[in-house]
Amino acid sequence: MSEASAAPTVRIVRTRKGGDSQNPTTEYSSLLHTVRNLGLLGRRTGFYWGVFAALVLITVGLGVGFVLLGDSWYQLIIAGVLGIILTQFAFLAHEASHRQVFQSGPANDRAGRVLANLFVGISYAWWMTKHSRHHANPNVVGKDPDIDPDFIVFREEDAAKVNWITSFMTRKQGYLFFPMLTLEGINLHIQGFKTVFGKGKVDKRWLEISMLTSRIVIYLAVIFYFLPLGMAFAFVGVQMAVFGVYMGASFAPNHKGMPQLPHESKVDFLRRQVLTSRNIRGGTLMDTFMGGLNYQVEHHLFPNMARPHLKKAQEITKEYCQSNKILYTETGLFESYGIVVAYLNKVGLAARDPFDCPMVQRFHHR
């Protein structure tokens, strides 16, 4: 199913007492009961160890290739592949943060913290805070940090507030979205350091500081020691750009262009998660490429479900939603990108025309 370029409005239907419809709480409980009885909430620790081992082996191979290539511009291929592998490590950190890997919560946190801080270079504490708020209220205005205005705005009301100097970018933000993702890798690192060195509460602050600083110092020291200055900067730039684009291209299709809920809306858990999420069609390759994020509906309904179980859960959830007349959205990957671009461009049109000088407009209205 595809959507229009603008995010549709959710119409909230409340079940009347004595009616034929199920109670919303009962609806989700029934679905959860089915999934649990099929064993789909069980851990698949062996799967994750296998993925981790494969990524480590590839990383070691990249290291060997890096040393053997030496002073060669073919190093940029190593940099690009490294950006991909670091994104895959980020997927594992994301899954550990959702308690998908181990039975023990602390074990998942330890794994997630090491993967995020030491391997990927982003703060686990920052991620947990931001991502937990998103999962609780996806696409809810004022509650989901993922739709808060930044360089990209996701609501026409926010676009209308953009100053006239930056409005040109906002009006074309859909087309600029993917090019801007080349800077997202740098932004993720910056957000991590801002969090651990900020005034807010940070769990295991000094551990994260030591991991993040050690990781970036060692990484940059190796790159700039083995490569000429210009090539070293190019290596880091390519790695960061690939990492940023891959991360953004994996997370953006999930909710952008889907319905947004008013701040005070009262929508039951099942509909809040399903109506605001979009699945991406594809087989095993897509599962690997997106780290299971292609099953976004199921991931939101069962956040602690291990990646290998999501496909079966998707079949059950889709059938359940159809039988209960709950809109279930799934598209192809590139179709989802087109929807995101069109939606962001439509939102951006609410920004003032940068060629309409405020002073000139003031005189025109006299």
Task: Report d(CA 366, CA 354) in Å as an integer.
Answer: 21
Dihedral-angle region of residue 183 (phi above 0 means left; psi in -120 to 50 means alpha; beta otherwise): alpha
* 328 HSE (CA, 13 A, CB side): 21
Are the CB atoms for 324 and 22 separated by under 8 Å?
A: yes
> Does the CA dihedral 47-53-59-65 come out positive or negative?
negative
Q: What is the 3-state secondary structure (H, E, C) of the chain?
A: CCCCCCCCCCCCCCCCCCCCCCCHHHHHHHHHHHHHHCCCCCCCHHHHHHHHHHHHHHHHHHHHHHHHHCCCCCHHHHHHHHHHHHHHHHHHHHHHHCCCCCCCHHHHHHHHHHHHHHHHCCCHHHHHHHHHHHHHCCCECCCCHHHCCCCCCCCHHHHCCCCCCCHHHHHCHHHHHHHHHHHHHHHHHHHHHHHHCCCCCCCCHHHHHHHHHHHHHHHHHHHHHHCCHHHHHHHHHHHHHHHHHHHHHHHHHHCCCCCCECCCCCCCHHHHHHHCCCEECCCHHHHHHCCCCCCHHHHHHCCCCCHHHHHHHHHHHHHHHHHCCCCCCEECHHHHHHHHHHHHHHHHCCCCCCCCCHHHHHHHCC
pLDDT value at residue 118:
96
Q: Considering only CA atoms, which of 316, 245, 256 is closest in space to residue 280?
A: 256
Residue with tokens 């960061």: 240
Burial class (CB in 10 A: 0-12, 13-18, 19+), 12: middle
Contacts of 47 (CB under 8 A, 6+ apart): 306, 307, 308
Q: Provide the pLDDT for residue 14.
A: 38
Max Cα distance, the chain (Å): 76
Distance CA(40)–CA(50), nearest Å, equals 19
* Structure tokens given for 218: 């060692």
The rounded distance, in Å, linking the Cα atoms of 297 and 315 is 11
d(CA 300, CA 276): 10
Low-confidence ranges of the chain (pLDDT < 70): 1-25, 352-366
The predicted structure's pLDDT at residue 167: 82
- Rounded CA gap, 287 and 295, in Å? 8
pLDDT of residue 85: 98
Amino acid identity of residue 300, one-letter, is H
- What span, in angstroms and rounded, lies between the C-alpha atoms of 235 and 77? 9
